[in-house]
Structure 1
């Protein structure tokens, strides 16, 4: 493409394209640097070619082109074979087409949410009957599926790693550690009047503070679970479509 053919983009539109390409480059982290640069350069040329005939270029034009390209994670999954491999290793061939790899299928988002949010909560509540022994296995399995899958961005994976199990961790410490408690003592003075003195012992984590923190963490954990589940299912559907059609 010559310089004369390059579309004239505003600063905001350039930033929109650059963010898209940066997300793509991050998702291509499993490729060698030269191959990653080639894929990103090819997508950039495609964007410029799609916008070259539009003058002036509007924000809607940029959004339309990027939307037509699809999710950067889906592009990266195709470029890397979805698990950094290609051919039969990426999935069984059916009629000359390949299935999406196991950790990029539609059941993975639900598994991650259950393993990192629901299972730790249940096992923590069942700690007195041995449930706590299974907790590390559930969390490790959830973390492995979250980080090995191509269904989420690095930022989403970080959020899932810390925020999904956070509720059960807080609940565990709330159940098995003693927070602050109020201790009162009193007596009778020489003049016959009574008195009572109360002090707080055991630290700053009063029941009110604990419940306030618990509600905040619960809201963050549930919101993270919803985002990971919806984004994961959407990207899994896009990957399944791309693999089934050979796109």
Structure 2
């Protein structure tokens, strides 16, 4: 099946690719290059490049983003491209998920690393902090709770009940739901981790 993209989607994909390819450039040159390309694209579209086919042709004339970046590096001192994940980012994700088992302090440390990182936006940091505080700890605690247990005498009369008064069949679905929520949040953070996505931070 052929997937058709709108003109806006084609431009966004091109600019995203160009931005990623330009990461090794010095920040000033990278910003300048992206601004030049965006301006050129905007001028072309304002001049009548509207349909997806016309946009594809226009982007083809602009050239491959890797080739544009290669031409822009002439005479420049390149900077080392930051890896997608650093050791502190791996520690952040592990502490957010399992740090609650370390007397809760590990999770707090994970939240601190999350909010001082440049890999995630503010919305993603809120997701990682609030979607399931203390990570998988609530799931484990729920698993340790007992359902209602009653004792009866030989005549079948109830002598007393102890534990929590919710049905046993209700416990497992809740545990699965909580674990799924935490896994989804973790997936979003792993998928979206990129350098310099958080404004004002250069972690």
- TM-score band by shorter chain is 0.5 to 0.7
Contact 2:142 2:175 survives alignment (8 Å): no
Written as runs of structure 1 = structure 2, the 5 A alignment for 1:22-41 is: none
Change (3 A) 1:226 1:98: same
Counterpart among 131, 137, 156 of residue 168 in structure 1: 137
Q: For residues 155 and 171 of structure 1, what CA distance do their matches in structure 2 show?
A: 27
CA shift for structure 1 position 143: 0.8
Paired with 1:155 and 1:229, the residues of 2 have a C-alpha distance of: 14
C-alpha distance 157-52 of structure 1, shift in aligned 2 (>3 A): same
Cα 1:96–1:147, aligned 2, differ >3 Å: closer, same or farther?
same
Three-state SS of the structure 1 residue aligned to 2:119 is coil
Q: CA deviation at 1:231?
A: 1.8
Q: Distance in 2 between matches of 1:229 and 1:180?
A: 36
Of residues 84, 91, 95, the one that matches 1:115 is 95
Please state whether the residue corresponding to 1:184 is helix, strand or coil: strand
TM-score by length of 2: 0.53
Q: Secondary structure at the match of 1:169?
A: helix
User: How far did 1:207 drift?
Assistant: 3.6
Give the CA deviation at 1:101. 8.4
Unaligned runs of 5+ in 2: 1-5, 13-34, 66-75
Is the counterpart of residue 208 in structure 1 residue 169 in structure 2?
yes
Distance change in 2, residues 1:147/1:47 (3 Å): farther
Alignment-derived partner of residue 181 in structure 1 = 148
Counterpart CA distance in 1 for 2:95 and 2:178 is: 17
Per-residue CA deviations over 1:125-170 (Å, capped at 9, x if unaligned) read xxxxxx52xx31x212211121122211222212211346342134
Distance 1:207 1:168 in 2: 20
Give the number of the structure whose residues are more often helix, by fraction: 1
**Structure 1 residue 228: Cα displacement:** 0.9
1:147 is aligned to 2:115: yes
SS of 1:187's equivalent?
A: coil
- The alignment of Structure 1 onto Structure 2 pairs a total of residues equal to 155
Task: Summarize the alignment of residues 183-202 of structure 1 with structure 2, pairs less than 5 Å apart.
Answer: 183-188=150-155, 195=156, 197=158, 202=163
